[in-house]
Structures are given as structure tokens and as C-alpha cells.
Amino acid sequence: MNLLENVLPKLKLQNPPTDPTERVHKIPVCRILPNPAQPRKYFDSDETLRLADSIRRHGILQPLCVRKPISVGDLDDYGGVYELIAGERRLRAAKLLGMAEVPCIVVEADSLRSAELAIIENLQREDLNMFDEASAISALIDLYGLTQEEVAAKLSASQSYVANKLRLLRFDDFERQVIIERRLTERHARALLRLGDARARRDALEAVIARGMNVAETEAYVARLLESDKREKPPKKRTALVRDIRIFYNTVDRAVDIMKRAGIAAETKKKDLGDSFEVTIRIPKEPDAAPAAGV
């Protein structure tokens, strides 16, 4: 399934630029900043070395894509900095080789569009690992304020598919790196996530790696841990689960709307974190003050 085709129009940076403002420029490496919306967190060092060796022998065949800085009007004036949109691995390899400049296509884009393009570029990659894919889906949710159901519809996937991907983000950075480096599968990861306690999950991860467990063995091992934990702990009182979060959202929206009608510049922000929801209400101390931009 091509996630990109169902979410946003394809980013076609591989074609030769036809617009004169999109010609290829040589830009100093030191003037290119990473994109804060980059969902890819793990970069294989061996893969970067192989790419660096290829670039050393053949050069950079596909230009990087960067965002034109607002402070620099002339594309040939390198007094400002550029924000990277696509090509972080090429940039890392170029830095490894000590290259002073890299070929770039400079595009006009605000921060929202820049984030959108960075996410698209990653979703297009076939080698995106499970955590990077989860981060990209999470970034799409944050960028457009979508619910899991809405994202699932756009991806032509089930809501459970999206939820399972987002749950992977419960692993911390160290655990993610270990899982990728040890080449554990997504089914390994999902089995380990059944352990709610972070310390127990870390211990189980170490045991799975040390014993070289396959998926079935991992699932059985986690099941034994959960059964043992259940016998040791007294049963907890179950609380009712309200499945339709929109009831709460509507209540919050009505309260904020009342404040706005009273002249208070209140605002609300909702975020779907996968296994929980986060609602932030910002109310300025001064009644007439508008909320800070970008907050």
C-alpha cells in the first residue's frame, strides 16, 4: 500500500527543474539546517558509510531540497541559512566526506508546507522502519489535527492499523534503536508492548535478545510474565471506558466558545497520542491579549 498516494499529492523532486527559480544551486553545507519535522530518527551508520562511498565515487546524483530562507532574497546570497526538506542521508554522507557544498533545489515554502514535504519524502521511502513510519503518521496527525479514524480513512487502512503503529512510539529512543539494530520484527515489538511497566518491558527486551527468541517464543514469554504478574497483584477495580471522545471534545469546545463570546481570547488544541488524548486550553492572563503565535 502506498501511503503517500492516499494522503497528499506526490512530491516530484527527482525530475529536472523547469522553473528558473528551481534551478540547482551549490549551497554550503554549514548553511543547511535539519528539518524539525523530520520523522526519521534512526540512521544506519553502515548505510551512511556506503552512501558516502558512492558519493565519493560518483558525486551526489539527486540534489537535496531545501527551503528558501525568508531573510535571503537572492538565491546566490548565502548570508542566511536554509532548512532541509528532503535529503538528510545525503547531507549526512556529504558531511562525513567533508564536502563544503552540496547541490540543492531551493523551493518557496512556509514552515507548515516544509513540514508536510519532509513527512511526504519519508513516507515515500520503502526502507522506512516501523518507528519512523509511526513517527510519520503521528506527524501527519499533529500537522492536520486528524483523528486516528480520519488518518486510517486517508491511508485506506483500519483504525487498528493506525493505533498499532502509534503504540510503537511508547518505546523510548534506546529501546527503538536496540530493536532496529537487533532486527526484531514489529510483531516482536507489539508483543513486548503488552507489558505496561517500562522496567519490565526493558528487562523482557533484553531477555528476548539474549535468548534469540522468535516471535512465537516472545509472545509466549510475555504471556507467562503477565500471568505471573496477575497472580502476584490483587485485582483492580475496572473503570468504565467512554469510547466516544467527541463528547468530551464538544464539552471543551463549548466552554472555550463561551469564553470567546465574553471577549477572552481562549484557544484549545487537541492531540491524539495513540494510547491517550491530550487537550490543552490556553487562556491569556489579560482578557484582551491574544494567545502567543505558534503556541
Chunk the chain into consecutive blocks of 10 residues (it has 295) and report each block's average pLDDT, rounded to whole numbers.
41 39 81 78 78 91 81 49 87 92 87 72 69 84 82 81 93 93 94 93 95 96 89 58 66 82 83 79 72 47
In this predicted structure, what is the pLDDT of residue 291?
53
H-only helix segments in the chain: 3-7, 45-58, 88-96, 111-123, 130-144, 148-154, 159-167, 173-181, 186-192, 198-211, 215-232, 246-261
CATH code, residues 3-126: 3.90.1530.10
- pLDDT in the model for residue 258: 83
CATH 3.90.1530.10 domain locations along the chain: 3-126
pTM of the model: 0.52
Residue type, position 163, single letter: A
- Distance between CA atoms of residues 104 and 50, nearest Å: 21
pLDDT of residue 189: 96
pLDDT at residue 107 in the model: 85
Catalytic residue among 22, 83, 88, 116: 88
Sequence-separated (6 or more) residues with CB below 8 Å from residue 270 = 145, 249, 277, 278, 279, 280
Tell me whether residue 88 is one of the annotated catalytic residues. yes
Position 202 scores a pLDDT of 94
